[in-house]
């Protein structure tokens, strides 16, 4: 069994000790671990001889999720930090210091939603830098050097904030989201895609029941949110009216009488 899988099992074991009964959202600790690892991958910075990654991570949680984690927060954050350290070692990354993970409450998030902020923190005065981990395999091909990482918040999503350090830093994954309307496929290749009847929209919907500026899809971190722009007839996803919805593969969007299918890879 791999080191990462053993740590994942350990995280799940922490959850079993009284967590599952109290936790009512879809958010799972192992999901946090994997998203943290993806943040590490997306924020690597290539130096002359090493690939550095952030060593400080903050997970922003909705109030009910944060409360559910409170009773074993110390054990969970320690396991998440160990998971990140093992991921760095296996990927051949270098850390300035051992990674740390903190959980913070964000009142603008709903149960099941979360964001991640990360940064490269300097070594405290008088502390020796962390030794570079020995890679278990060849180091990944060098990527373009990343800009200094900062915690970021994206505002304007249905009057709330969805926090994600990847908002301004991560690159778009080409072809990650496709909208299929009347057999025509539209690939989202920008951070915000506008939809409506007006010809200046990114996706024009020739439906008299659709507003000129009806809605938009925003790429926030690793998620895609559809947001109603105060349209006349609203936005329906899978038969339910929504003002904001995190899209998943197979979702059916109904705008007026026009159906749009979501494909996410």
Q: Which pLDDT does position 167 carry in this prediction? A: 38
Average pLDDT along the chain, 265 residues, taken 10 residues at a time: 57 44 58 87 81 90 89 90 88 88 89 85 58 43 32 31 37 67 92 91 94 89 83 93 88 96 88
Q: Which pLDDT does position 150 carry in this prediction? A: 32
Structure tokens at 223: 């998620």
Q: Rounded to an integer, what distance in angstroms lies between the CA atom of residue 107 and that of residue 61?
A: 8
Q: Rounded to an integer, what distance in angstroms lies between the CA atom of residue 46 and that of residue 179?
A: 35
Q: Which pLDDT does position 141 carry in this prediction? A: 34
Q: Determine contact, residues 91/50, Cβ cutoff 8 Å.
A: no
pTM score: 0.44
Q: Rounded to an integer, what distance in angstroms lies between the CA atom of residue 260 and that of residue 207?
A: 12
Q: Which pLDDT does position 103 carry in this prediction? A: 94
Q: Which pLDDT does position 11 carry in this prediction? A: 53
């Amino acid at each position: 069994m791999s080191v990462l899988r053993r740590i994942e099992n350990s995280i799940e074991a922490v959850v079993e000790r009284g967590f599952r009964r109290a936790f009512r959202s879809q958010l799972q600790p192992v999901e946090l671990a994997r998203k943290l690892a993806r943040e590490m991958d997306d924020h690597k910075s290539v130096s002359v001889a090493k690939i550095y990654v952030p060593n400080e991570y903050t997970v922003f949680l909705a109030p009910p999720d944060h409360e559910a984690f409170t009773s074993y927060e110390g054990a969970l954050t320690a396991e998440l930090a160990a998971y990140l350290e093992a991921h760095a070692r296996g990927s051949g990354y270098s850390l300035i210091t051992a990674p740390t993970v903190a959980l913070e409450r964000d009142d603008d998030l709903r149960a099941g939603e979360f964001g991640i902020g990360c940064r490269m923190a300097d070594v405290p005065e008088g502390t020796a830098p962390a030794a570079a981990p020995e890679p278990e395999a060849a180091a990944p091909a060098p990527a373009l050097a990343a800009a200094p990482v900062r915690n970021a918040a994206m505002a304007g999503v249905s009057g709330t904030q969805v926090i994600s350090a990847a908002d301004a830093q991560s690159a778009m994954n080409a072809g990650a989201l496709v909208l299929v309307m009347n057999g025509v496929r539209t690939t989202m290749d920008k951070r915000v895609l506008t939809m409506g009847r007006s010809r200046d929209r990114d996706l024009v919907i020739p439906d008299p029941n659709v507003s000129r500026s009806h809605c938009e899809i925003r790429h926030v971190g690793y998620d895609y949110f559809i947001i109603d722009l105060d349209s006349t007839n609203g936005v329906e996803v899978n038969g339910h009216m929504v003002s904001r919805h995190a899209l998943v593969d197979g979702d059916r969007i109904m705008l007026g009488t026009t159906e749009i299918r979501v494909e996410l890879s």
